[in-house]
Amino acid sequence: MDYLVIEGYKSAAEEFCQEAGIESSVDFESIERRMVIREALQRGDVSDAIARVNDLNPEILDTNPALYFRLQQQKLIEFIRQGKIEEALQFAQDELAPRGEENPEFLSELEKTMALLAFESSIQAPPAINELLSPAQRMRTAGEVNAAILDSLSQGKEAKLISLLRLMCWGESLLDENAEFPKLDLNDGTFSREAK
């Protein structure tokens, strides 16, 4: 249930509660609102996402300058992706440069983003720069916003299932150094014994 709620599977979470016969304290509408924000970011509509975050809870962006910068950076990336160079330069100068002066971490990220303008195509850009135009960048930004919203709702930022899998892998690596034991293959769900 925790995984379904955090990852935004509203209908699956509702169905899970119904089939398990449990009462959930989760506000299913908040899941829907988070997923609308995530979808806006994944399609590159940063302005819509910012407006929806502010509608949900204006304090999220007010109290988290790094997240607000990340959203503004994503907006700049979207201008560059659409070929709106004049708007990108003006936006960077008006919105991001003042934040970069305040925080050196922001400045390096701004410089990295502005480096996109130096290359005619994404093929010519170095991988670290080109990565900003990848769908994974949008997903990272959406994930950060989702985590901030969950934090504002006093919910966990990461599903407990993920933490348990990490713990299991860590335990297996410790055991692997000292003993032979059955290992879970996460690809097909079977156990195997590997000789040392």
* Residues 152 and 170 placed together within one structural domain of the fold: no
| Total domains in the fold of the chain | 2
Structure confidence by residue, pLDDT tens digits, 85-143 = 999 999 999 988 888 888 888 888 888 888 888 876 556 778 888 888 889 999 999 98
pLDDT at position 79 is 93
What are the distances in angstroms from CA 130 to CA 85, 103, 133, 166?
17, 24, 6, 29
Residue among 39, 16, 38 at smallest CA distance from 26: 16
Q: 154 and 170: one domain?
A: no
pLDDT, tens only, 35-57: 999 999 999 999 999 999 999 88
| Per-residue model confidence (pLDDT) at position 191 | 62
51, β-bridge pairs: none
CA atoms within 13 A on the CB side of 36: 14
Interatomic CA distance for residues 37 and 11, integer angstroms: 17
Check whether residue 177 and residue 136 sit in a common domain. Answer: no
For residues 190 and 154, what is the distance between their CA atoms, to the nearest angstrom? 36
Pairwise CA distance, residues 4 & 83, whole Å: 37
Q: Are residues 184 and 99 in the same domain?
A: no
The string of DSSP letters for 66-79 reads: HHHHHHHHHHHHHH
113 and 76 fall within a common domain = yes
Give the residue numbers spanning the domain of 171: 165-193
Q: How confident is the model at residue 155, as a pLDDT?
A: 66
Q: Based on the fold, state whether residues 117 and 170 are members of the same structural domain.
A: no
